[in-house]
A = this chain, B = another copy of it.
Amino acid sequence: MAVGDYPFPEMPAIAGVAIGVAAAGIKKPGRNDVLLFALADKGCAAGVFTKNAFCAAPVTICREHLGAEKTRYLVINSGNANACTGEQGRVDALTVCSAVATAGGAQTAQVLPFSTGVIGEPLPVGKIEAVIPALFDSLQESNWEAAARAIMTTDTRPKGATRQVDIEGVTVTVNGISKGAGMINPNMATMLGFIATDAAVEQAALQGIVREAAGLSFNRITIDGDTSTNDACVIMASAEAGNPVISDTRSAAFESLKQAVTEVCTELAQMIVADGEGATKFVTVDVTGGASHDECLKVAYAVAHSPLIKTALFASDPNWGRIVAAIGYAGVEDLDPTTVTVHLNDVLIVKNGGRASSYTEAQGQAVMSGDRIGIYIDLGRGDCRELLWTTDLSYEYVRINADYRT
């Protein structure tokens, strides 16, 4: 189940970013489940990672390696998260890095490891090591769809997005792939995003771009409120496009590249929501009129996480009372119900603390019957605004998550 139709786009090759895939048999035999990115020597990488205190071994190692050496390789496996695996998990992830480094003629700290899948099972290091030659043999700059497929877990479709932008007379390309599905919540969910560009960017500027872009995209989506131990969004810049190196974060070139990366990340984030586990609706929760960003977010999360609202969305039931109840318990101090308005798409449903007099059930039903629903809440007490994207809660969500390990 998934909302809408997102065919995988035509993605141009990015010079200086080669991709290899292989089937290590971690989850199912014959399915590509290991992915290798090889980044040109003169390139660099930057990333943002989960804030989960139980972050997985590969996340810790990514942070360390990004700070220590210029990144040359990213190695990603699906099927096993190498999370909550203690000291052995760290040893295992480093073993994989070391094997990739050896095969690629690099230092271990030039390799970033990523894992997604079941938590708490030992990483099958031997299986991954065994396919490293195949990964290197299959390196190609055109392998984007294969890459997107190799990182899928409960995703029903591969996710990719691409943009081109002119930077000081040079055409620069930005590609991205992601995986998501369950355990999706801001601050990086069981979400992996890999972005690549051929632009020349200094590492500090690249870090600024990925932080801002992720904040406006991946950190705005929530499916079940669970923030995973493994989330990561990494960007690679190969410096092959020939643009003057971007280093000034106040420059037009920086803004242009950031905009393109944000668009790619937003598209990928929305694809993750649309392909959320069991999703039948794509829901935008847009809260305006707040006295602070914090209170807007509180309301947006209360609405986006309410199982009662999510089941009503699944049922296409314009049960606006549940929306109002969620606004009421979100924890906004001294909220005056009479200043709050709520629209479902363009239909005014709540005003003056109750149902809008103009509202009819038929109007609400018409909105809810669609698969793209906007819940627009104005708190009427300030100028702040926050926005989230989420899904409904269906039988299928329960089935997927009740069956995941079986």
Contact = CB atoms under 8 A, between A and B. Distances in A.
A228 B404 CA distance: 32
Interface stretch (A41-49, A69-77, A160-168, A306-314): A306-314
A183 B355 CA distance: 20
A308 B89 CA distance: 23
A116 interface: no
Nearest to A227: B329
A279 to B, nearest CB: 13
A85 B336 CA distance: 15
Interface in A305-336: 305-308, 311-312, 314-315, 317, 319-322, 324-329, 332, 335-336
Contact of A312 (B307, B311, B321, B401): B401
Interface of A: 51-55, 81, 83-89, 118-120, 182-183, 185, 187, 224-229, 305-308, 311-312, 314-315, 317, 319-322, 324-329, 332, 335-337, 350, 352-355, 393-395, 397-399, 401-406
Copies of this chain present in the complex amount to 2
19 contacts: A51-B329, A52-B329, A54-B325, A84-B354, A182-B308, A225-B305, A225-B307, A226-B326, A227-B325, A229-B321, A229-B325, A305-B305, A307-B393, A312-B401, A312-B402, A317-B402, A317-B404, A317-B405, A319-B405
Nearest to A316: B402
A224 B307 contact: yes
B401 A311 contact: yes
B354 A120 contact: yes
Given A55-B328, A328-B53, A308 B398 contact: no
A305 B226 CA distance: 9
Contacts of A305: 225, 305
A401 B308 contact: yes
Given A53-B329, A118-B321, A119-B325, 12 more contacts: A53-B332, A83-B321, A86-B352, A119-B324, A120-B324, A226-B308, A227-B329, A307-B307, A311-B401, A317-B406, A395-B399, A397-B398
Contacts of A315: 401-403, 406
A226 B401 CA distance: 21
Nearest to A321: B119
A52 B332 CA distance: 10
A398 B310 CA distance: 9
A273 to B, nearest CB: 15
A64 B118 CA distance: 54
A285 to B, nearest CB: 15
